[in-house]
Structure 1
Amino acid sequence: MEAIVAGPERRERLMAEIMERTGIDEAMIERLVRGFYVKVREDAVLGPIFDARIRDWEPHLKQMCAFWSSVALMTGRYHGTPMAKHLPLPVDAAHFDRWLALFEATAREICPPEAEAHFVERARRIAASLELGIAGANGIMLANGERFRRNQAGAV
């Protein structure tokens, strides 16, 4: 019988399995993050939201690399509060759709198919979770399949 593996050893095994299966490594994560944010900064919908909040991009890019390392490879490098950071933003379903479209396009350009699928599946979950949280913070309880639109009754 195999012993139960916990803690850092378990994390190392998970990371190795994901890397083996998908080909994702820290260099790919950095290429994806940097390529994605080039698109975001040039985007008419998302660019102004980021430009109003980020002056020095390098710390943000490093933080996003740590975030995606934690999300994609289970490294535990990110220690932030994504929901709290996104709650005050003036965003809704249209912004998350645009974010996903840019992210998916970047993943398709940079990643092999297995890595692309891995990143995109997680990005879709993250977008849905953030949209749900932002809707709730604006007094809107979304039913399954509903989307948050800022012009909904009661929304800001």
Structure 2
Amino acid sequence: MPDLCTEEEVRYLVHTFYAKVHEDADLAPIFNAHVKDWDAHLAKMVDFWSSTLRGTARYRGTPMPKHAQLPKLNPDLFKRWLELFHRTTHTLDNARMRERADMLAPRIAESLWYGYQMYNDPANLPGRLEP
């Protein structure tokens, strides 16, 4: 997978996406309340997407516990995250990278949403995140 995209393309994807998140009326308050060091967060997200898209295995972390402890998340917030992510990927010139990222993002969002519900409301487990 290293030939799918370059590190610069991954960095562009992450930084462009989180710039959109930073300006979003729904997501910005959540991220800004919980991300204390944006440079570190962006670096970790570059590692995550580099591992996911390029197979670099640089990412080290357990995102589920951090996401599960966030207050008052709902499916619309995860759908908004996906919408902004897809808006970002549609600006990419690299079609193969775009297709792979667009295939993986819904799986990631659904996994985090499911984990969030398992932790916070296991009696009401969610279905798929439909657009």
TM-score in same-fold range (> 0.5): yes
Unmatched 5+ stretches in structure 1: 1-14, 148-156
Q: 1:78 aligns with which of 45, 59, 75?
A: 59
Whether contact under 8 Å (1:72, 1:122) holds in the other structure is no
Whether contact under 8 Å (2:110, 2:128) holds in the other structure is no
- RMSD over aligned Cα atoms: 1.5
Whether contact under 8 Å (2:117, 2:125) holds in the other structure is yes
* 1:48 to partner: Cα distance: 0.2
Aligned residues: 127
Q: 2:98 aligns with which of 101, 111, 116?
A: 116
Runs of 4+ in structure 1 deviating by more than 6 angstroms, as ranges, are: none
Unmatched 5+ stretches in structure 2: none
1-structure distance, mates of 2:8, 2:128? 36
1-structure distance, mates of 2:62, 2:18? 20
Does 2:88 match 1:68?
Answer: no
Query: Aligned with 1:110: secondary structure?
Result: coil
Q: What TM-score do the two structures reach when normalised by structure 2? A: 0.89
Q: 2:8 aligns with which of 27, 32, 52?
A: 27
Aligned pair in 2 of structure 1 residues 89, 114: CA closer, same or farther (>3 Å)?
Answer: same
* 1:112 to partner: Cα distance: 2.3
Report what 1:36 is aligned to.
17
Query: Aligned with 1:132: secondary structure?
Result: helix
Q: What TM-score do the two structures reach when normalised by structure 1? A: 0.76
1-structure distance, mates of 2:31, 2:7? 24
Cα offsets for 1:2-37 (capped at 9, x unmatched): xxxxxxxxxxxxx34xx2xx3x11110000000001
Q: Relative contact order, CA 8 A, sep 6+: which one is greater?
A: 2
